[in-house]
Structure 1
């Protein structure tokens, strides 16, 4: 059995201490980033609710009155339900006229063109080697025509539509 010297044991302990300090710093950094993200989200919600133009004292007072109501779980459930309905309605309005599409191209595309595809709502699928996403068919068809792309609708026809899968 090999005995370790006091210096070796102290060195190992110092290494462990350094690793723990690095882990603690990483955890604090992650917590700080999560808090910053949450604050940004809260600011976005204040803006979305149309409260951003309120005077700071009025906004703070309004938030304090909400804070008092937040202790009532039934009231919080009502707020969550109302907010969920609004988010659902906005998502449906945003996605109106958009449908799941795939687009394939025979040749490699220039970077500025791929930026246009991303702006249209598509993303590159590395596994299947095609562009896919929820997008406006007419807009993507116009883009695909620029580089001889083949566009395909993913979903089946809806509400009595008659179309082929490769339309």
Structure 2
């Protein structure tokens, strides 16, 4: 009798572990889906189409989907164009770390944010990728800073 009770307890524990694992997997799946949706929205913005009305954008996407069903060549051509453009953007970006000797003014901080740099509170530095490094240098000309470009 004792053995049966122990088996029941072990089975209940297994069941609870499986439920916990299922919950973790569902959360991971939801996070992956959210990330994908954010990336797709980023591509719409990157393509300069985020100004379109929702109905217009949805209609354009439906039109694209029907074009893809009937013509594989279009998909291949779009893939080539997209890859070329994304590769071109990657090669023009420079990894940057920016430190200031003293706290910069709000105008300088706003300019740094405009270039897409982010603040690292732990290391007390700005970091990120910059497309137009020369114009960043011009804007920072008056501020005392240490600009490190990472190759």
The match for 1:143 among 137, 140, 146 is 146
2: CA distance between counterparts of 1:114 and 1:13? Answer: 49
- Cα deviation code 1:85-127 (max 9, x no counterpart): 11122222223xx79xxxxxxxxxxx869332x5276xxxxxx
1: CA distance between counterparts of 2:50 and 2:150? Answer: 41
Give the alignment's Cα RMSD to 1 decimal.
Answer: 3.3
Q: Which has the larger radius of gyration?
A: 1
What residue ranges of structure 1 are gaps of 5+ in the alignment? 100-110, 122-134, 145-150, 156-167
The match for 2:27 among 14, 26, 29 is 29
Structure 1 residue 54 corresponds to structure 2 residue 52 = yes
Equivalent residues, number: 117
Change (3 A) 1:154 1:67: closer
The match for 1:10 among 4, 8, 11 is 8
Q: What residue in structure 2 maps to residue 119 of structure 1?
A: 127
Change (3 A) 1:154 1:66: closer
2: CA distance between counterparts of 1:63 and 1:25? Answer: 33
Q: What residue in structure 2 maps to residue 91 of structure 1?
A: 90
When you count helix as a share of all residues, which structure comes out higher?
A: 2
2: CA distance between counterparts of 1:120 and 1:27? Answer: 31
What residue ranges of structure 2 are gaps of 5+ in the alignment? 97-119
- Cα deviation code 1:29-83 (max 9, x no counterpart): 1000000000000111111111111111111000101111333443222111101
TM-score by length of 2: 0.63
What does 1:93-108 align with in structure 2 at a 5 Å threshold? Answer: 93-95=92-94
Change (3 A) 1:113 1:15: closer
TM-score by length of 1: 0.57
